[in-house]
Structure 1
């Protein structure tokens, strides 16, 4: 009964199937099977895909922000009242609000409180709290998807209009913010309002906090522009940020001025009164929460102490909040700690800077820790290493024992959120002003560490603890993160010593080379690694740098020799060639063998491919060869002392053993001529390359199909790089790209080809002359196999003469 039926629905009744399996269905509404076309299934799948691209930590109520700052009770009343009046205003003409103020002025606390008030009032549409050191919350990529997800939770009917967008175009999340906003929010919301006009009376407030913490800086204007386009009923947007240059300029544009309400966190709102209330309440809490609270005198803190803290705060809540957190530590006597903070003296010059007192506080806290050097090491990790902020990750990177990180940071709870052993999470700064302080040499002074030295320290830690790190983390990520930091490092003795005891090729395993993704990630890491080492060899004053480079090249030669014997490499010779020619290996017989003897694999270089990964690997190979050929400093490829790798590469470029129909040599011909001409004209007349040129001057000394100086194969191999548009391009007679019926296109392109061939041939002959080798000359054209057979078999010597440009037989014989 109902055999092979799908997606059947029954409404009422009883049905009995008589057979081997007796089943009775007696439901009012029973769905036998859900299918992918079921709207409910489609909706769940769409939400699932949407969720993959959001930043959950950016929500106002996310677990990642469990201890987020909010306005202290009975403070910020005037500001909160003004914002909420604007949010509830039924006839607002300005649907954007910009709240701005300096670091530490309480912007995030206000935004958190507003989010909670809007949620309580049922008008919160969504929120995104940017944070500089939090993954997914410090870039623009996840903004639109995160807001879309929250809106679908607030307005369920919106999901009906977003579902087909996601299913029809899964790439929507990789498109521009403007395209995402239009497809996921603007167009669906317009459709909802059209179908349900009554929803136009609703109100949804969307908050974006910390815009200045989104990287890169030029994304700020893009974000503000798309938010302004989306500011239509029922949406209103509140943006909070520091008044950075790009943000200020964007809000000053005419179209933004007309729709923006601006609120500055300045003295008009009397922040000192709120800060004083905050301080007095928190000092009262200290009496009951601190172990020494019962022993604190009733007069403490004195009125003068409170006023001093107010004066030092300069309207910044961050100063007062940091002082309280520091005093709250059970390791400190609150009275003595407060006296020490207030007694800290600033020089006259430093007291005039905007963050003088906050800087003084940071100096005091960091100066009070037991091991400042180790604390700074951990702070560098938090600031520089993406997605590695947990205590376990940092302990593995720094080589610490379990729990050591918390011990070192025991006096840093006033500045860092440090999860205890019972709570998972990442180490993070309570406020980004601490990172700003550490990055500014004028503010941090002796605590400042230049970025290149910081990266060198991180790279040193990776080299020293690589084996431990890859136990729990993807080796691709570790390799590339390590080499990213290395690329931005300066030379230090510690880094040199660590690299001397580290061999990156120990972690490039042979049994993974059947995976093209592994090739791509590994090649990227190795390229950065050898490029930095090569640069240090050339420019560093340390003798250790030159010795280190020689060591890693020896490692490379050993690794390449072992790799050749590994069976997994049978189909991946290309990766080996790249490593051999790009990274400076001295085993010259290896690339010679690869180029000269491995015909089946090398021929694949010239074949078209639809495989995206393989195509990118081939492109990387040709770039690597170009770098080696043109690099004048690559002393490991010395043409006089050793076999000339450049000659080998030229042979590789000019192979002609692939079928004509599959050969893509023509794509590289114009570029190849330019490279070889440059190489020959600048070369030091080495005997081997001059001899190679001489060998090719008369094509009859070698088989035609192996003669890379001969033009016999040109009609089939080149053409597309030289195709030029002509005046007749729009004319129906001109078939641009094939030259049929268009003599103008053909003449222009062939002239360009002949000029390049002339320059190349002149360079070849000049190289031979400079070498001192004697050779025989002959009259132009006498080298052809037969009179009138065309330019196909014209030698290099003839192509290096002016008569070549006027030789009309080329036009008759050449085909594209």
Structure 2
């Protein structure tokens, strides 16, 4: 390790240099004062003489071999081929080499400063990184995490053409199903494995854009190795405007050219959370149209509510895989139970919550993590937590209904989702009222096909129901256009309660109106469908008995 700086006297008209040597203590010679020029020159001559036996050409390499945190001031270095030279600035230590494939890299320290300054002009969005405090609770989502991690780390299948290689995994789920916790956990795991290039998370009151994502992505690429960082810096020096260009322009100008510098023996994972909350459509277009231009070693894992502006663009793309495992409903009961038991074990009242009450609570959650989390936080701040939990399970807690941090918090989320729908389109409003009214009023769920048959007398088609379901999909438990015969229902009872009680127009659903409508349609269905042609056993009721 170098511990001192020894000033070289300025002779022969050349600029001075500072060179670290041995364990010599720091002296006033480092200040370049005239009073110490003679001792400094003597030390320098002595040092140069000691190097003659080693060969002057290799002296620089021997001096800095295995050294770190070396500061060079006012230095002009004439580098031989394959030498490595380090330039230290206030921000970082950057390594430069005289040879690189694809993009030429400079050893001149002045050029190094330019590269560093150019990289500093890239946007640097804050608070976009994953949060270790928001990962999944221990013992939950084990199967989900294993399957996603396996997909992200799976070796490239050489039997599949490059354009059809899966590069994007879409983890979709309804509101409150724990998508963000899953994304934080995956990103942490990929980071711990050394595979994470970038993570992109939007926090409360933070409106991020596609330009922010591209800045995070490019900075992540710079962290892969010094050659890529220098290559991107060189491109920014050549075209300074790229530092502030739109996302796709930066991708074309800064990312595509450095692909030859990427290692070929590892995967590059990028995590994106809440894609549906992005303010523009550029990021969706990037994932659909531009990601295939990256090597198949890039894997993008993203979470989103299944809204039309995302799913209609990403579904049925050869390089995009839709994660098939559900995040809510009966399949999540065990995960919710594990989460609830863990949270309750941290309280001083957990022994007063009976197994029966816990079972009833788990059923009441309908597998929705957000509802479970909100209830547990709510009772933790109540006077009698076990008693309050029992009242919530029975639907008899006024405190739960009126608290700003409980029911109103959930309703605020539902209203936020609904606010993004096209309420100025009267055709949408008309069909929304019919289809959402059916979900709210029906005692048992029906499939898309069943709903279309029931509402046929009123001119509602299967296509109409599919279209509305696409818009309200974040509030449905498990909707897919590919399964028109699968019964559908709202993601949780709290959505129905919001729509019929507290939702303002035009979200509000008048349940009495829809009960009357369903009664009329049911009678019409009996009249037109319940006939001997369709039900042959009806004939046995004819004749005398």
RMSD: 4.3
DSSP 3-state at the match of 2:130 = coil
**Structure 1 pair 158/272, CA: closer, same or farther in 2 (3 Å)?**
same
For residues 221-260 of structure 1, the aligned pairs below 5 Å read 221-225=284-288, 228-253=291-316, 256-260=317-321
**Structure 1 pair 107/151, CA: closer, same or farther in 2 (3 Å)?**
same
How many Å apart are 1:227 and its aligned residue?
5.3
Asked if the contact 2:178–2:327 (Cα under 8 Å) also holds between the matched residues in 1, the reply is: no
Give the Cα separation in 2 of the matches to 1:113 and 1:368: 25
Q: Which residue of 2 aligns with 1:285?
A: 346
Q: Which residue of 1 aligns with 2:172?
A: 100
How many Å apart are 1:200 and its aligned residue?
0.5
Give the Cα separation in 2 of the matches to 1:73 and 1:367: 25
**Structure 1 pair 130/231, CA: closer, same or farther in 2 (3 Å)?**
farther
How many Å apart are 1:146 and its aligned residue?
0.9
Deviation sequence 1:662-699 (CA, Å, 0-9, x none): xxxxxxxxxxxxxxxxxxxxxxxxxxxxxxxxxxxxxx
- The structure number with the bigger radius of gyration is 1
Give the Cα separation in 2 of the matches to 1:442 and 1:237: 35
Alignment counterpart, residue 404 of structure 2, candidates 363, 366, 370: 366
Alignment counterpart, residue 164 of structure 1, candidates 212, 223, 234: 234
How many Å apart are 1:75 and its aligned residue?
1.3
Give the Cα separation in 1 of the matches to 2:168 and 2:406: 45
- Asked if 1:321 corresponds to 2:373, the answer is yes
DSSP 3-state at the match of 1:206 = strand
- Asked if 1:213 corresponds to 2:274, the answer is no
DSSP 3-state at the match of 1:103 = coil
DSSP 3-state at the match of 2:377 = helix
How many Å apart are 1:91 and its aligned residue?
2.7
Asked if the contact 2:156–2:296 (Cα under 8 Å) also holds between the matched residues in 1, the reply is: no
**Structure 1 pair 44/333, CA: closer, same or farther in 2 (3 Å)?**
farther
- Asked if 1:191 corresponds to 2:260, the answer is yes
**Structure 1 pair 89/341, CA: closer, same or farther in 2 (3 Å)?**
same
Asked if the contact 1:231–1:237 (Cα under 8 Å) also holds between the matched residues in 2, the reply is: no
DSSP 3-state at the match of 1:91 = coil
How many Å apart are 1:45 and its aligned residue?
1.7
Asked if the contact 2:140–2:338 (Cα under 8 Å) also holds between the matched residues in 1, the reply is: yes
Q: Which has the higher helix share?
A: 1
- Asked if 1:120 corresponds to 2:192, the answer is yes
How many Å apart are 1:109 and its aligned residue?
0.7
Q: Which residue of 2 aligns with 1:308?
A: 360
Q: Which runs of 5+ in 1 are unaligned?
A: 194-198, 288-292, 347-359, 384-431, 451-816
Deviation sequence 1:12-61 (CA, Å, 0-9, x none): 899999956626274746834169953442343233222xx122211114
Q: Which residue of 2 aligns with 1:545?
A: none
Give the Cα separation in 1 of the matches to 2:148 and 2:406: 40
- Asked if 1:334 corresponds to 2:385, the answer is yes
Q: Which residue of 2 aligns with 1:201?
A: 265
Give the Cα separation in 1 of the matches to 2:183 and 2:156: 22
Q: Which residue of 1 aligns with 2:452?
A: none
Asked if the contact 1:203–1:235 (Cα under 8 Å) also holds between the matched residues in 2, the reply is: yes
Give the Cα separation in 2 of the matches to 1:367 and 1:90: 45
Asked if the contact 2:172–2:306 (Cα under 8 Å) also holds between the matched residues in 1, the reply is: yes
Q: Which residue of 1 aligns with 2:481?
A: none
**Structure 1 pair 301/365, CA: closer, same or farther in 2 (3 Å)?**
same
Give the Cα separation in 2 of the matches to 1:203 and 1:231: 12
Give the Cα separation in 1 of the matches to 2:253 and 2:400: 46
Asked if the contact 1:439–1:448 (Cα under 8 Å) also holds between the matched residues in 2, the reply is: no
Given the two structures, how large is their TM-score scaled by the length of structure 2? 0.55
Give the Cα separation in 2 of the matches to 1:156 and 1:362: 55
Q: Which residue of 2 aligns with 1:31?
A: 72
Q: Which residue of 2 aligns with 1:82?
A: 147
**Structure 1 pair 82/128, CA: closer, same or farther in 2 (3 Å)?**
same
Deviation sequence 1:617-655 (CA, Å, 0-9, x none): xxxxxxxxxxxxxxxxxxxxxxxxxxxxxxxxxxxxxxx
Q: Which residue of 2 aligns with 1:343?
A: 394
Alignment counterpart, residue 150 of structure 1, candidates 173, 198, 220: 220
Count how many residue pairs are aligned between Structure 1 and Structure 2: 350
Asked if the contact 2:276–2:305 (Cα under 8 Å) also holds between the matched residues in 1, the reply is: yes
Q: Which residue of 1 aligns with 2:84?
A: none
How many Å apart are 1:77 and its aligned residue?
1.1
Give the Cα separation in 2 of the matches to 1:20 and 1:154: 47
Q: Which residue of 2 aligns with 1:564?
A: none
For residues 393-412 of structure 1, the aligned pairs below 5 Å read none
Deviation sequence 1:296-319 (CA, Å, 0-9, x none): 6x4x32333223322332221111
Give the Cα separation in 2 of the matches to 1:361 and 1:316: 21
Give the Cα separation in 2 of the matches to 1:361 and 1:149: 48
How many Å apart are 1:72 and its aligned residue?
1.3
Asked if the contact 2:136–2:182 (Cα under 8 Å) also holds between the matched residues in 1, the reply is: yes
Asked if the contact 1:440–1:448 (Cα under 8 Å) also holds between the matched residues in 2, the reply is: no
Deviation sequence 1:188-232 (CA, Å, 0-9, x none): 1x2304xxxxx211111111111001113x345324235523542
DSSP 3-state at the match of 1:122 = coil
How many Å apart are 1:105 and its aligned residue?
0.9
Give the Cα separation in 2 of the matches to 1:162 and 1:326: 50
Give the Cα separation in 1 of the matches to 2:399 and 2:13: 75
Give the Cα separation in 1 of the matches to 2:496 and 2:75: 60
Deviation sequence 1:77-133 (CA, Å, 0-9, x none): 111111111122113431211111111111111111111111121111111013462
**Structure 1 pair 368/250, CA: closer, same or farther in 2 (3 Å)?**
closer
**Structure 1 pair 312/155, CA: closer, same or farther in 2 (3 Å)?**
farther
How many Å apart are 1:277 and its aligned residue?
1.4
Which structure has more relative contact order (CA 8 Å, sep 6+)? It is 2
Q: Which runs of 5+ in 2 are unaligned?
A: 1-9, 48-62, 65-70, 77-107, 158-164, 420-473, 476-491, 507-545
Asked if the contact 1:124–1:206 (Cα under 8 Å) also holds between the matched residues in 2, the reply is: yes
